[in-house]
Amino acid sequence: MAVRLPLFDERGNAPSPSGGHGPVAAELETVLLDEYEKKEKCGLFGVWGTKDASQICYQGLFAQQHRGQESAGIVVSDGTTLNGHAGMGLVSQVFNPRMLREELAGHAGIGHVRYSTTGSSKLCNAQPLLRQYLMGPVAVAHNGNLINAQLLRQQYEEHGHIFQSTTDTEIIVHLLAKPTHVEKHDPLPHVLKHLQGAFSLLFLFPNRMEACRDPWGIRPLVLGKTAQGHWCVASETCAFDSLDAEFVREIEPGEIVRIDDHGLHSRRFDKPAPERAHCVFEHVYFANPASKVFGQNVHLVREAMGRELARQSPVPADFIMPMPDSGRSAALGYAKESAIPFEEGIVPNRFVGRTFILPGQAARDRAVAMKLNIIPDVVKDQRIVIVEDSVVRGTTTRSKMRAIRRAGAKEIHLRVSCPPIRHPCFYGIDFPTSEELIAHNRTVDQIRDFLEVDTLAYLGIDRMLACMKLPPEEYCTACWSGKYKVPIDQPQSKFSFERDQLRMF
């Protein structure tokens, strides 16, 4: 079982390896670079009715690689059986052309890229989960987080069920296999009614694909159609762009869309929640700028947030500089609104590995230098407004600011295009405890001092919501406001299901 020490004490100091706190220990804190600071759940893709289903799934997953880099998987149907492959790493590392063409031949398929928010990063948790039960084979791919997973799993384990993974998604298969559910004419709606929390789901059976979305619409799920007339489903519309497919509509909250050889059929397992809970963080950070999420283009929303930030928190400066890559759209909006020039002063190295965990100042500095190349001739002796999409744990941001300061910046004014993240998320984002959040129980001035910048300003929550198309009550703001629309009765950690594992050699 993994044990996580709080990242900071009440004075902003990090724990020492022995558990103590203090200024010296703060220099030894674990630093997690960009990709660990803000981690999303997963990306889904599915297609029906094409002979090269696995290759289309590959393209759809590749376009959504930003949603998860721990593992990737594809399961296909040939009309009778299901066959799949999953592995740790990026889509391009897990699959090759021969595998897609020969080993994963089929006319339908679903795929998944994963970052874990329940269950650790290991192969047994890679999705889609492929299982056999009384009614035959089934594959499940999940984006989101089930808040009642711990309770359901405990109930099933008490009745002798054996779980093969530590992810909350496997509970859905056990619900499907329950005898009282199997005997129903249409078991899936009944199964989904048992789930609480965030879930966008793809199911693949030999004869059909089912796409489902929770009644709150927390995570996105969209329906598209290829130029050849084949139905496809994805987490983001950018997956359709990569295939020259047409975006048709969103899967509605509480809806099940069945796709088979007879076409597309819609039914409901629940009515939509009175107030939706669309995750604004999808727009702030997660989604591809080219995607349309919850009815709005992500780039344009981020640009609008940057404009609002410039109106709210102006500051004299020589130029506006984005923090690559998700801060770029907001920085552009800030520059347009403030009439201050936009300048690129940081070049990201896109070939650096996904995550570094490094102790000590020298190691942190080397890591930032590997990930981000500061251009000294651009930043030297300049007053700079740096626009960042969000600050979660803060250690990464501080390392970035220090690197810019060493490159010669005269003044650093940090502007963040969302409010301070003060509360944990239980719906599919990996900041599950308040103690890990730099803004929890700290003032903006305290955060500014920790980040070592001249000024710091966050976008206000009302101004952020003003950039959204739907009424404010249609969005989830729990990580900023602490208001959870889906009640959290029994908070669970990412490692709630982790136990000593049996190992075979």
Catalytic positions, written as ranges: 42
DSSP state for residue 273 in the 8-state scheme: P
Residue type for position 142: H
Give the C-alpha separation, 331 to 388, whole Å.
8
CB atoms within 10 A of CB 504: 3
Give the C-alpha separation, 47 to 49, whole Å.
7
Count, in order, helices (H) and strands (E) of the chain.
Answer: 19, 25
Give the C-alpha separation, 129 to 134, whole Å.
16
Calculate the CA 190 to chain-centre distance: 27
Contacts for 471 with CB less than 8 Å, ≥ 6 apart: none
- Any idea which residue has 């009550």 for tokens? 473
Nearest Cα to Cα of residue 254 among 172, 314, 311, 199 = 199
Task: DSSP for 193-253, please give it.
Answer: TT--EEEEEEEEETTEEEEEE-TT--S--EEEE-TTS-EEEESSTHHHHHHTPEEEEEPPT
Contact present, 260 and 48 (Cβ < 8 Å): yes
Calculate the CA 274 to chain-centre distance: 25
Could you tell me which residues are beta bridge partners of residue 332?
A: none
Give the 3-state DSSP-derived string for 72-116, with helices as H, strands as E and coil as C. Answer: EEEEEECCCCEEEEEEECCHHHHCCHHHHHHHCCECEEEEEEECC
Contact present, 46 and 110 (Cβ < 8 Å): yes
Report the C-alpha dihedral over residues 398, 400, 406, 407, rounded to 10 degrees.
-160
